Amino acid sequence: MADKTRIIDIYEKSGTFSSVFRRFTGEKKDYNYSDLSILRQLLSNEKARLMHVIKLKKPKSIYQLAKFLNRDFKTVREDIKLLQKFGFIELVEEKDKNRINHRPVLNATNITINIRI
């Protein structure tokens, strides 16, 4: 996978921090999220562990990922949806017999956080 850098700009405005998320380096589309609690959710240890397991074990489904992590399927799926929303993870649809699995794949290799004061 080619290096894809996810950029998060945090800037101070009138005594509070705001953030802007960019999909990847050089991409023009920005997403403005003024609530930094979203950033805290993205950078949690559980999300880091989840991405680490995806990178190393390459699970074939969200269910298998939950088993690797020894976590509840529902909470893993919620974490995946959040990481997918911000471009860290992509779900690839694969058919296995009569069943469709959604295989989680890392979509970004780097995270750059810029804080402007």
Query: CATH no. for residue 24?
Result: 1.10.10.10
Domain count, the chain: 1
Query: What is the domain extent for residue 112?
Result: 5-116
Assigned token pair, 17: 């921090």
| Each residue's pLDDT expressed in tens, for the chain with a length of 117 residues | 567 777 777 777 777 776 666 655 555 555 555 556 777 777 788 999 999 999 999 999 999 999 999 999 999 999 999 888 878 899 999 988 888 989 999 988 887 877 777
Cα dist from 62 to 72, 81, 92, 98, 107, whole Å: 11, 11, 11, 17, 15
